């Protein structure tokens, strides 16, 4: 039977996952905080395998539920509805964006995924699909066996849930390596070697905005499983903890701000 992916969040990351999932033959139920009536054009674009729903409907329908939301919104997630669900944590901690900041994250007392797991104690949480941009989620996805297929990490405490998420990620276009437990997921968080930079192409200096945009939207150099494992094993815990949009390539910041201005983030 065809699996259904429930997607909470219809911003850039949620849309990218929805496109990859429907292209791979999954059913998708996508939801946002504004209601399913705001998703009509997106669902039309996604095709017959997708439909819009409420948050509760997307959770209920999903064999896997993908969290494409800001980490700052985690307390709004219904823990009771997500109990026993396989949940993909696509969130990241960016303390410089907005007002969301926590001492327990800043002081490395726990990872952002452990924070989510505490809020969702009965969910089967797996960290994944969080460490490359929305652009390269789609640009870098390749069929199984392709020489240009890149590798993404997952982390989690539930082995069966991690195996199911691994199958999903492999089917939508990526190789996968195991990065360990949720406590070890700092190894794949922002500012580590396997986060963002290794999936984006180099953009030469001196290009016009349009030229830089064209180059940046191309696939990055593929990362092998062996290279991914080495990046994970040799990771140093960042200090300070958390991502920084200003540290990203200027063309990435420009494209992000363009999308934010259009209300699609």
3-state secondary structure of 156: strand
Q: HSE (CB half, 13 Å, CA atoms) of 68? A: 30
| pLDDT score, position 256 | 84
| pLDDT score, position 97 | 79
| pLDDT score, position 254 | 85
Q: What is the pLDDT of residues 99-112, one digit of tens each?
A: 799 999 999 999 99
CATH class of 70-261: alpha beta
The Cα–Cα gap between 34 and 40 comes to 12
| Mean pLDDT score of the chain | 95
The Cα–Cα gap between 131 and 179 comes to 12
| Region class of 35: left (phi > 0), else alpha (psi between -120 and 50), else beta | left
Q: What is the pLDDT of residues 10-69, one digit of tens each?
A: 999 999 999 999 999 999 999 999 999 999 999 999 999 999 999 999 999 999 999 999
| pLDDT score, position 262 | 64
% of the chain at pLDDT higher than 90: 89
């Amino acid at each position: 039977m065809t699996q259904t992916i429930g997607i909470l969040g219809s911003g850039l990351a949620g849309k990218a996952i929805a496109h990859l999932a429907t292209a791979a033959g999954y059913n998708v139920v996508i939801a946002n905080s504004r209601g399913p009536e705001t998703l009509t054009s997106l669902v039309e674009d996604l095709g017959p395998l997708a439909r819009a729903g409420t948050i509760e409907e997307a959770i209920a329908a999903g064999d896997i539920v993908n969290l494409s939301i800001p980490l700052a919104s985690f307390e709004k997630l219904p823990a009771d509805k997500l109990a026993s669900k396989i949940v993909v944590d696509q969130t990241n901690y960016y303390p410089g964006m907005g007002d969301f900041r926590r001492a327990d994250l800043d002081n490395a007392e726990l990872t952002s995924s452990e924070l989510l797991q505490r809020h969702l104690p009965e969910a089967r949480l797996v960290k994944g699909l969080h460490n490359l941009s929305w652009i390269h989620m789609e640009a870098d996805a390749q069929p199984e066996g392709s020489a240009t297929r890149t590798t993404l990490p997952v982390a989690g405490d539930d082995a069966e849930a991690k195996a199911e998420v691994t199958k999903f990620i492999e089917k939508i276009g990526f190789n996968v390596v195991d990065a360990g437990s949720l406590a070890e997921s700092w190894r794949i968080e922002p500012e580590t070697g396997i986060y963002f930079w290794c999936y984006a192409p180099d953009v030469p200096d001196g290009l016009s905005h349009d030229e830089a945009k064209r180059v940046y939207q191309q696939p990055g150099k593929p990362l092998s499983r062996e290279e991914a494992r080495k990046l994970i094993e040799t990771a140093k815990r960042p200090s300070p903890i958390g991502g920084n949009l200003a540290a990203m390539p200027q063309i990435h910041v420009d494209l992000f701000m363009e999308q934010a201005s259009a209300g699609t983030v």
